[in-house]
Structure formats: structure tokens, C-alpha cells
Structure 1
Amino acid sequence: MGIGNVGGRRYGGVVIPELRFGGLAVPTHDFFVGLAVVVAAVVFVLEARRRGAFREESLVAVAGALVGGAIGMRLSGWAEHLDFSLNPSLLEAWMFGSRSILGGLTGAYAGVLIAKRLIGYRERTGDLFAPAVAIGMAVGRVGCFLTEAPGRPTSLPWGIHASATVPECPGCLAGQAMHPSFLYEIAFQLAAFAAVLWARSRVSRPGELFTLYVGAYAVFRFLVEFTRANETVWLDLTRPQWFLIPGLLLVALRLRKGYRNGYYDRLLGRPAPVSVATRGYLPGHISEETA
């Protein structure tokens, strides 16, 4: 634990690179990633059963998400630089990649689409994933908090210190108090999980619950990047922020369409228009459309 003073008060940050279970040492980050997958899988199964959608095809979608997420997370550092001569080879990226959450989410989404296309499964599954992804992210970020650079320097009273041995952390070396950026994300994901559970019976069209979650997370992640320790590359924005900008535009258009079509009327406490109410999109119903 590192201890320091901010404004006359003391704050500490814990760095635990590995966990020990008897004589077995497990990397902390990997342990919480694995735990996050298990927790997310349990929540997915419970939600699928609640919606009457727990069947072989939905399990294929989960397999696609796991495979795609692993590939996306591992290879996310392959195209880190515009000058490709500065990037690692595919093998190096796979073995020593940055394991980006955004890369993992993108890969998981692509994996679900590919898996469903391969088996000809056309029902939407996004709403089954929304609560699972939120709670899984909350658990996984505990590993990030315990092993990675906390964030940028801050004078706020809840700033934390971390060991100087934390990789790629100038603030740690300088003994500065830093934003607990991963705690911000854990709090957001727990709140998002609760919000998804509350909203799932109030969104009229299948797939829109996941769209709302993705939109909220994209906005949050863009903003929280200003507190993260990630390198800025252009116009004081980080690589994740530049990755998110086109996605934010697409999500904004998607949400605008949903709002104009009345998909969120019940969520907003507005009476649903006839054009939506007569389509048979009931909470929990799975439509015959590709996600």
C-alpha cells in the first residue's frame, strides 16, 4: 500500500499483482477477468430463462461472444499506431496485447453476429447480454483497480496513491494523488446493472435495452477517459476516445431513431403511440430480426 498526503489528509491505494490460494499464485487481473466471465454467464442464463429464451441457439451466441471477446481483447493493441511499422506483429499482439475492454466488447459483439449468422439464428439477443455485460464489467474492473495505474493526478479529496512499481504510471513514481478512475467505472457499471433491471420491462422493442446500455457506457467511457492514465495522442484525446467518437455518432443516430419511433415511451412515462403499441413488441418478447 502506498500512502501520501493531500490537503493535509492521508489516502492510500492498494496494488496486488497476484492472489494466493494456498500454494497457488494467480495473477490478480486474470483472476477477476475469469470471475467476471463466470458472473456474467450466470446472469445471462438467469435473464434468458426469465425471458423464456434459454435454448441452444442462445448458448451459441454466448460462445460467439466469448471467442470474439477474447480475440478482440488480445488483438486490440495490434493497430495502436497509424504507422503500422510501430505496431507489434499479430503473434506479439496476441501474446502480449493490451487487453483493452473496448476491444473485447467490439470483438464480443462481432462474435455474436458471426455465430448467429453461421447457425441461421435471427432473433435478437442484445437484451439478454445487457445486464450480464454490466455486472461482468463491474467485477472485471476490480482487477484493473488492483493492478493498473489509477488515473491522472488530482487534488480532489478522494485521490489515491499507488506503488511506484505500477507499470506505465508516472504519477505513481512521483508520489502524486490520482483519480481512482476504475472505481468510477465500477460505480457506473453497478448503477447501469440496476438501471437495466429496472428498465427491462419498460422498453417496448427487443434490442433497445442493449442499445441504451451501450450508449450510456460510450458516453461515460469517453468522459472518464479524462481521468484515466492513458496516453493522449491528438487534441488531448486518448486512443479510446478517438475510437469512441464514430461509435458515439452511430449510437446517437440509433437512439434518435428509437426515440422518434416511440421505443422508449414507457421508459419515459409517455403513452405509446398506436404504431408501436400494435406491433406486438411486448417486454421480454424476442423478435425475428437479426441483432
Structure 2
Amino acid sequence: MLEELRFGGVTVPTHAFFVGLGVVLASVVFVLEARRRGALREESLVAVTGALVGGAIGMRLSGWAEHLDFALNPGLVEAWMFGARSILGGLTGAYVGVLVAKRLIGYRERTGDLFAPAVALGMAVGRVGCFLTEAPGRPTSLPWGVHAPATVPECPGCVTGQAMHPSYLYETVFQLAAFGALLWARSRVDRPGELFTLYLGAYAAFRFLVEFTRANETVWLDLTRPQWFLVPGLALLAVRLGIGYRKGFYDRLLPRRGERRPLSLGARLSPAGEEER
């Protein structure tokens, strides 16, 4: 566990450093992507502001409704000061923040595709801070299991010296892979908003599965609170992606069965109708 980083005579909290670094890198990627798409305007920067404000609020207040019995939940002030800092809460808050910001200025263009690569890279970096400061995951016999000091809060496996899943590193690897996949797919998904929808679907499915390696408490049917939070979202995303697939939004990524590929440049048809080069 590495609580602090030292840069010369300056000491910085490890988790805050990597979260801040992730935000900076995400902002750079957002600006570059917006410039590439010709969307670097005042309206898009207002959307970024909404995402940052909404994400901060969602992350800090994510523990306010942690229990169905509201008597067990902290008050708003306590949740703001000592909240769980949930990534899912932050993403939800950021999404709502963007919608509110765009509604306030009357901006109707979709901005999700600008955010998708930025969010993936920012989360990949931020999760390194989680790995260095929080309980890794559930016990495992896999050869890449990690050990953490017994001083890590809320970590029974740390106390007993068990090897545990490096669950935060799993997420870092996923987000880096998603970042690369989004850069590859961005020129193959033309419909606005669909790149972001694909990223949300992939991340929601991954996060549901990786929760089985996390150290979070199970609350019902051996599922954790984040998993129950994701269940309705996964259902809605599955329907949304299914509709997009049937409408052909993703044909350049996943051609439907029986669909002919368009002729590539430099190709021509023979008299028999076959493609020649």
C-alpha cells in the first residue's frame, strides 16, 4: 500500500495524484478528439464542465443511498465529506451533468463520442491509484495474485496474508484496451452517439463480471451493490445495442449475416458479377 508519493520535498496523496492525472489526460484527449471532429467549440467545453461537476457530485454522494433502509445511510453532508467515491456514481453524475449543462445552453448535438476515449484513458490511469491504496480483491490461487499489507482498511485477506485478485489492474487493462478499440472504431461508427453507447455497454458488462473478483460486500444472491446497480442498466443497454445492430448502426464493425461487403476502392466487377482486382 502506497498512501503518498514524494516529489522532491512535496508529498501528494497517491490516490488523488492518479485521479488528477487521469482527469488531465482525459481532458487532453477530449480536446484532441473534439478538434479532430471539428467540434471544439464553447458549447462542447460547457459539456465538459457539466461532466466534471456532475461527476464530482455523483462520486461524493454515491454512498448516500447505499442501503434500502435509509436510516442506515449517512446524511448528505456526511456522504459529501466521507462518501465511498464510487466510479459508477461518478460516471452517472457526469452523464447527468452533461445533459443538464447542454439543456441550460440549448445545445442539442451529441457529445458522447467525444467523451468515450477520454473517459477510458482517464479511468485506466485513475485505477492505478486505487490499486496502490485500496483492498485489491477476493482471495485467489492464480499465479498473478497479489499480497497487500495488513494495514489496508476493510481487507480481511490482507490480514491473513492471502493472495488476492489485482482487480483494479484488471480494470486498467480493460480501459487501455477499450481506449485503443475506440480509436480504431471511431472512423467505422458514423452515427453520432453510438461509439459512446458501445463503450458504455462494454464497460457495464466488464464491470459486472469483474465485481466477482472485487472485495466488495455481497448483499443479495451473492451479488454486490455495484452489480445490482448495473442490472437494470445492462438490460437497457442490451436493448439499445440490439436496436442499433438491427438498424445497421454497427455494420462497419459487425456486418450482419448474409450482408454483402461494399466494393473496396480499386475493385471492379467481372461479367459474372464477382469482384476482381
Corresponding residue SS for 1:246: helix
1:205 alignment partner, one of 191, 199, 213:
191
Question: How far is 1:24 from its partner?
Answer: 2.1
User: Is residue 184 of structure 1 aligned with residue 170 of structure 2?
Assistant: yes
The CA deviation string for residues 200-240 of structure 1, in whole angstroms up to 9 with x for no partner, is 01113110000000000000000000000000001000000
The CA deviation string for residues 65-98 of structure 1, in whole angstroms up to 9 with x for no partner, is 0000000000000111111111111000000001
1:141 corresponding residue in structure 2: 127
2:48 alignment partner, one of 52, 62, 65:
62
CA contact (8 A) 1:262 1:272 kept: no
1:71 corresponding residue in structure 2: 57
1:172 alignment partner, one of 153, 158, 169:
158
User: Is residue 220 of structure 1 aligned with residue 206 of structure 2?
Assistant: yes
1:289 corresponding residue in structure 2: none
2:227 alignment partner, one of 230, 235, 241:
241
2:83 alignment partner, one of 91, 94, 97:
97
1:5 corresponding residue in structure 2: none
1:46 alignment partner, one of 27, 32, 51:
32
User: Is residue 128 of structure 1 aligned with residue 137 of structure 2?
Assistant: no
Question: Structure 1 residues 118, 200: closer, same or farther in 2, change over 3 A?
Answer: same
1:256 corresponding residue in structure 2: 242
1:17 counterpart letter in structure 2: E
2:72 corresponding residue in structure 1: 86
CA contact (8 A) 1:148 1:166 kept: yes
User: Is residue 19 of structure 1 aligned with residue 33 of structure 2?
Assistant: no
Identity in percent: 84
Question: How far is 1:26 from its partner?
Answer: 1.2
Query: How far, CA to CA, are the matches of 1:74 and 1:32 in structure 2?
Result: 17
The CA deviation string for residues 251-285 of structure 1, in whole angstroms up to 9 with x for no partner, is 00110110011000011246699xxxxxxxxxxxx
Corresponding residue SS for 1:45: helix
- List gaps (5 residues or longer) in structure 2: 262-277
1:108 alignment partner, one of 80, 83, 94:
94
Query: How far, CA to CA, are the matches of 1:40 and 1:175 in structure 2?
Result: 36
- List gaps (5 residues or longer) in structure 1: 1-14, 274-291
1:265 corresponding residue in structure 2: 251
Query: How far, CA to CA, are the matches of 2:126 and 2:176 in structure 1?
Result: 12
User: Is residue 196 of structure 1 aligned with residue 187 of structure 2?
Assistant: no
Corresponding residue SS for 2:174: helix
Query: How far, CA to CA, are the matches of 1:243 and 1:37 in structure 2?
Result: 24
Question: How far is 1:22 from its partner?
Answer: 2.3
The CA deviation string for residues 166-213 of structure 1, in whole angstroms up to 9 with x for no partner, is 011000001000000011000000000000000001113110000000
Question: How far is 1:25 from its partner?
Answer: 1.6
Corresponding residue SS for 2:38: coil
CA contact (8 A) 1:265 1:272 kept: no
Corresponding residue SS for 1:81: coil
2:269 corresponding residue in structure 1: none
Q: Which has the higher contact order (CA 8 A, sep 6+)?
A: 1
2:220 counterpart letter in structure 1: W
Query: How far, CA to CA, are the matches of 1:27 and 1:204 in structure 2?
Result: 41
1:229 alignment partner, one of 215, 218, 241:
215
User: Is residue 155 of structure 1 aligned with residue 141 of structure 2?
Assistant: yes
CA contact (8 A) 1:43 1:132 kept: yes
Question: How far is 1:21 from its partner?
Answer: 1.9
2:273 corresponding residue in structure 1: none
| Aligned residue pair count | 260
